[in-house]
Amino acid sequence: MTQGKLFIISAPSGAGKTSLVKQLATHTQDLIVSISHTTRPMRPGEVEGQDYFFVTHDDFSAMLKRQAFLEYAEVYDNFYGTTLQSVETSLNNGQDVILEIDWQGAELVKKILPDSVAIFIFPPSIAVLQERLLARGQDSTAVITRRMQNAIAEMRHYPSFDYLIVNDDFQRAFLEIQSIINVYRLTRERQQHNLQALLVNLLT
């Protein structure tokens, strides 16, 4: 059994990352999206255990103490973390896993698991980024202003990533990310395992 591949997807908020990851999850076979734990309050429409596991600061600290996290970071005064359990089992079962995490988490995971593949998504412009944050209508103006400033700081970290995608046309961005995933599924290492029967048939 070959190990699954770990894909990290990061973007400033408003770049469309969550919608892209949702589309990838529903249109790509055998792709697991890791669900993070967060101390952030639930937004309208979010579902416990689907978007995040929403926990208290005390719960989060307890998990930190028992080293439950592969990585964690503080983003906009809230804590977010990926549990080891949410990735290890799937990778060991040969399934590919997506982590939708910020640049700090991405840099940490790349250090711990250098074989992971990090993808950064850019918005097509600052104006579009602002429009998307406003259209979401879920955050206060103060939060949006802060997120705009942070977005620029976040985008400066793109050199830590292996692939860069611009989410101008949603469908194109989706296909581009899917092709990155497919490339890793077609490597000799993976295919040798998947095509065992065919290889025996063709070569003996």
**Interaction between residue 177 and ligand 5GP (CB under 6 A):** no
Residue 132 Cα distances to 21, 145, 170, angstroms: 17, 13, 13
**Interaction between residue 73 and ligand 5GP (CB under 6 A):** yes
Beta strand pairing call for 37-38 and 78-83: antiparallel
Q: Which stretch binds ligand 5GP (CB under 6 A): 19-27, 74-82, 126-134, 155-163?
A: 74-82
Question: What is the per-residue binding string for ligand 5GP in 2-21, x denoting contact by CB under 6 A?
Answer: -----------x--------
Q: Which residue has the CB atom at the shortest distance from ligand 5GP? A: 105
- Residues 81-140 binding ligand 5GP (CB under 6 A) are 81-82, 100-102, 104-105
Tell me the C-alpha distance between 144 and 12, whole Å: 12
The tokens for 30 are 């055998």
Query: Which is closer to ligand 5GP, CB of 48 or CB of 194?
Result: 48
Positions that interact with ligand 5GP (CB under 6 A): 13, 36, 40, 71-73, 75, 80-82, 100-102, 104-105
